[in-house]
Amino acid sequence: MEKATLAPVAPRRPHSFTKHGITVVDDYAWLKDADWQEVLHDPAALDTDIRNYLEAENNYTESLLGHTAHLQKKLVAEMRGRIKEDDSSVPSPDGPFAY
């Protein structure tokens, strides 16, 4: 029997902020990079602590579901085979027009 892999636990780092006169404490606000918009353009800019935690979560998931990779690929192929893929997206209405 294999040794059970423990899920990573994100450390709590309390952060207080006030909106509309209400103060909220978010223990996990640190998981949102302060410069998240830059991270969208350059993933290498992600804070090291956040990256390390996400990598630990990904490794945990892989340890549990890695053996299903072939099945996952097969299911994705089957689902894609049932839909018509094209380059269009949902129209965005603007008055009497849709773009």
pLDDT, residue 1, reads: 43
Which is more confidently placed, 7 or 91? 7
DSSP H or E segment with residue 97 = strand 97-98
Tell me: pLDDT of 2 over 70.
no
pLDDT over threshold 80, residue 45 = yes
Q: What is the pTM of this model?
A: 0.72
pLDDT of residue 11: 97
- Percent of the chain as helix, strand, coil, to the nearest 5: 45, 15, 40
Q: Are strands 93-94 and 22-26 parallel, antiparallel or unpaired?
A: unpaired
pLDDT at 87: 65
